[in-house]
Chains A and B, each alone.
Chain A
Amino acid sequence: MSSASSTTTGAAKPSSTRDKPANKWEAAADWTDGRLGIYSLAKANLRKIFPDHWSFMLGEICLYSFVIIILTGVYLTLFFKPSMGEVIYNGSYVPLKGIGMSEAYASTLDISFEVRGGLLIRQIHHWAALVFVAAMLVHMMRVFFTGAFRKPREINWVFGFLLLVLGMFDGFFGYSLPDDLLSGTGIRFMEGAILAVPLVGTYLQMFLYGGEFPGHDIIPRFFTIHVLLIPGIMLGLLVAHLILVFYHKHTQWAGPGKTEKNVVGMPLMPVYMAKAGGFFFLVFGLISAISAIASINPIWAYGPYRPDQVSTDAQPDWYMGFSEGLIRVMPGWEISLWGHTLNLGVFVPLMIFPLVLVAIAVYPFIEGWITGDKREHHILDRPRNAPVRTALGAAWISLYLVLLVGGGNDLFATHLHLSINSITYFVRVGFFAVPVIVFIITKRWCLGLQRRDKEKVLHGRETGVIKRLPHGEFVEVHAQLPQKDLFKLTAHEQTQPVELPAQTDENGVARKAGALTRTRAKLSRGFYGEGSQIPKPTAEEHHEITSGHGHH
């Protein structure tokens, strides 16, 4: 760019190869470019194309709520005292006057009642956190159901998954900080879960809490984890996630003119700059409005934490709710061996908790192994065209929801006038049965939709016009779909199941396929075999029907 020429001609005179900067803005841009090389950077990226679809904006909701959380979190750290030192409250909230509490709790009360704007900022921080994790989950489901995790995006899928898990845990540490009755119960629960780990549980507990529960260390330690450690890692992952999105370029839906080698959409500058920038303010505004309307985590109502007190409705924030469900519905089994107790009632849920998450995280790799597909995919799948994947995803969601019901079993009991025991038994059975049922229904549903697509391609859409034929028969007139729609409905490719290698080799010697190969072939048949997809209409079929003089 201009930097090379300006060094040869000297700094005093403007570059001979360039016109004099038209105004001071251009001069400033030149100045910056000479030092940072922004012209080439901007040239490469400002015209970056993004496709237009609302579901591609879910990630933006995550990004913006993360920014909001950081902004409000910084404000809160100015006033929060992460200390478990005891004080007597003497602030303006009457129902807690004269009560002994930790400095952490007292400073949170001060943020809520004495600091200007403190309660609003606290509520924005907390509501944004709920929305952040919810948006991440929905964003992940969008990527899952459209197959956007396929090569080359597997690593980015893992980055996103790690962001979700870290977001969940950072949320957990965050709501543990105020040291109110609810969060203290959560920390107590965590202690119990750690203690349930065989052999090392007691050591881990002593290490983390710095002594017997509650001790004086846990809140300061959680504070460091919450404001420094996890957000730092998340920020790094987030940047990597976005760099990869830029590097891979965005996926797009199938359509005329859209290929695996292009991206059809609008340029970053100015269209997406305006859209994304505006959307940030919409997200910020909406979360602020909610925070101004509805209370969240009313720590003043919970009271300070004391190990001898507890309130009902002691649940974690929603994203930890499925772990609460696991622990609530697990029978309280215990094994006592050689003077040691293995607390299965807590330990089993503790083990299933990561498995539930990992199950969805490893799926891209499993699917990649089954299909053996090494090609890049930039065109998204419609969920119906991958029935087994869609059914597995729906089954996973249903499992998650069943566990959420288990986690809120007491509120379902009181508000629907049911027995909490019946709900718990239902969840115990549902944990195993509901995902299977949902899998079957979803798969059949997808197949039904595929048949419908085929029908539409071959016979056109129903017009609602009824025609009476001379001999009295009534028929509905079908209209051919426009070429564009035909393309969309038939653009997907249908994976064929992997064939086992021939039983005998070219010399007629018996060849045995390994167990892994056979499993893969079996899974592949399950995924893409006869019962798992409807062969899409071919051009010949379409031609035959539309050109002939059939009664359609």
Chain B
Amino acid sequence: MKKLSARRRHPLAALVVLLLALAATGGLYAAFAPADKAQADVAAQSLAIDEGKKLFAVGCSSCHGLNGQGSSDGPSLVGVGSASVDFQVGTGRMPAQQPGAQVPRKKNIYTQAEIDQLAAFVASLGPGPVTPKEEQYTSTNPEDISKGGELFRTNCAQCHNFAGQGGALTKGKYAPSLEGVDAKHIYEAMQTGPQNMPSFPDTTMPEEQKKQIVAFVRHTTSDEPNPGGLTLGSLGPVTEGLFGWIFGLGTLIAVAIWVAAHTTKAKKS
């Protein structure tokens, strides 16, 4: 010990301590952090649950509790189902960056395999909505678009706007834009009702109707050209008015100034 304390003022001591600390952190991280590669999916359900529990302990437990029982910082996850996890983690909303009026969509940092493991663990806590299969949310019937449109205007447009552009809710909450959202995630949102959204379980909105809504949203928010030209955000008359004032009247006034400035110069010279 004496040797150590004698050298603690050595010029290189700080560097040594730093290296030791880095090595320790890295070592610990290597020991505890999830493996880089997803585990093979063929493992039994229990294996997925085990892996999911580990992931959960790292990414979720600080708010939702080690067993998903919830805490003052996050709700209980018992009974939310795998669909909920797939939506929340798959759209990057969870793990949440910070508390606030609403957790925003952000870049997802988990692989789909990891999300499935997390979902398996959360699903094991209690029965809930199950992650949909591809055929449940993929429509092949072109008529589904117009039927879905009617359903969308009845059930969704009052918050998400007629073109799925989103809208304001009270006190900083909002209905997010549906642009670029996966068909699966739209379906899961309807199943589970994340954050401020009401849920539309199969008992109130049959699977078929959800599929039609997904078909409409995907069609409306796709990159297909708008028949009328620029959409101006598909936000209704507010942006149209702004555009009309700035580019309509604004340009016309600029033209008027130009015309007035170019008058006959007969009197001069």
Chain A positions within 8 Å of B, measured between CB atoms, are 52-54, 56-58, 60-61, 93-99, 112-113, 119, 123, 127, 130-131, 134-135, 138, 181-182, 266, 271, 275, 278-279, 282-283, 286-287, 290-298, 300-303, 306, 308-318, 321, 407-411, 413-414, 417-421
A53 with B154: CB separation less than 8 A: no
- Asked if A294 and B243 sit within 8 Å, CB to CB, the answer is yes
Q: Is the CB of A295 within 8 A of B229?
A: yes
In the bound assembly, the distance between CA atoms of A58 and B255 in angstroms comes to: 11
Are the C-beta atoms of A311 and B161 separated by less than 8 Å? yes
B170 touches A420 (CB 8 A): yes
Q: Is the CB of B237 within 8 A of A303?
A: no
Which of A96, A283, A414 touches B168 (beta carbons < 8 Å)? A414
Query: A306 CA to B101 CA in the complex, in Å?
Result: 32
Contact pick for A271, options B146, B229, B257, B263, CB 8 Å: B263
Contact for B167 among A286, A410, A417, CB less than 8 A: A410
What are the 5 tightest A-B residue pairs by CB atom distance, in nearest-first order?
A: A318-B241, A295-B228, A312-B167, A130-B244, A313-B236
Q: Is the CB of B235 within 8 A of A419?
A: no
Instruction: Decide if B146 touches A98 in the complex (CB within 8 Å).
Output: yes
In the assembled complex, which residues on chain B have CB atoms less than 8 Å from the CB atom of A57? Answer: 256, 259-260
CA distance A420 to B167 in the complex (A): 11
Report Cα–Cα, A294/B255, bound state, in Å.
20
Chain A residues with Cβ below 8 Å from B245 are 130, 134, 318
Q: Are B153 and A309 in contact (CB under 8 A)?
A: yes
Main secondary structure of the interface of B (DSSP, over half): helix
Contact A123 B154 (CB under 8 A): no
A95 with B219: CB separation less than 8 A? yes
B261 at the interface (CB under 8 A from A): yes
Q: Which residues of B contact A53 (CB under 8 A)?
A: 260
List 11 additional contacts besides A98-B146, A321-B241; criterion CB under 8 Å. Answer: A54-B257, A54-B260, A99-B150, A119-B227, A119-B228, A127-B248, A279-B256, A283-B255, A310-B157, A321-B237, A420-B168
Q: Which residues of chain A are within 8 angstroms of B171 by Cβ–Cβ distance?
A: 419-421
Q: Are B264 and A271 in contact (CB under 8 A)?
A: yes
Q: Does chain A have a CB within 8 A of B196?
A: no
22 A–B pairs (Cβ distance < 8 Å), ordered by A:
A52-B263, A54-B256, A54-B259, A57-B256, A97-B146, A119-B227, A127-B244, A127-B248, A134-B244, A138-B253, A283-B252, A290-B248, A294-B228, A311-B236, A312-B161, A318-B238, A318-B244, A321-B238, A411-B239, A414-B168, A420-B169, A420-B171
Whether, in the assembled complex, B163 has its beta carbon less than 8 Å from a beta carbon of chain A, the answer is: yes
Known: A99-B150, A138-B253, A311-B157. A278 touches B244 (CB 8 A): no
Q: Assess A96 versus B157: contact at CB under 8 Å? Given A419-B171, A420-B170.
A: no
**Residues on the A chain within 8 Å of B168, using CB:** 312, 409-411, 413-414, 420
The answer on a CB contact under 8 Å between A303 and B253 is no
Question: How far is B240's CA from A294's CA once the two chains are assembled, in angstroms?
Answer: 9
Answer whether residue B143 sits at the interface, using C-beta atoms and an 8 A cutoff: yes
Give the docked Cα–Cα distance between A392 and B261 (Å): 30
Q: Measured between C-beta atoms, what is the minimum distance from A139 to chain B in Å?
A: 10
Looking across the interface, which residue of chain A has its beta carbon closest to that of B157? A311
Contacts of A181 in B (CB 8 A): 153, 157, 162
Complex formed: what's the CA distance from A292 to B241 in Å?
16
Cβ B153 vs Cβ A96 within 8 A: no
**Which residues on the B side are within 8 Å of A293 (C-beta)?**
229-230
- Provide the residues of chain A in CB contact with B162, threshold 8 Å: 181-182, 301-303, 311, 313
B118 touches A (CB below 8 Å): no
The answer, yes or no, to whether B204 is at the interface (CB within 8 Å) is no
Task: Give chain B residues whose Cβ lies under 8 Å from the Cβ of A316.
Answer: 237
Q: Would you call A134 and B249 a contact (CB within 8 A)?
A: yes
Asked whether, in the complex, the Cβ of A113 is within 8 Å of the Cβ of B227, the reply is yes
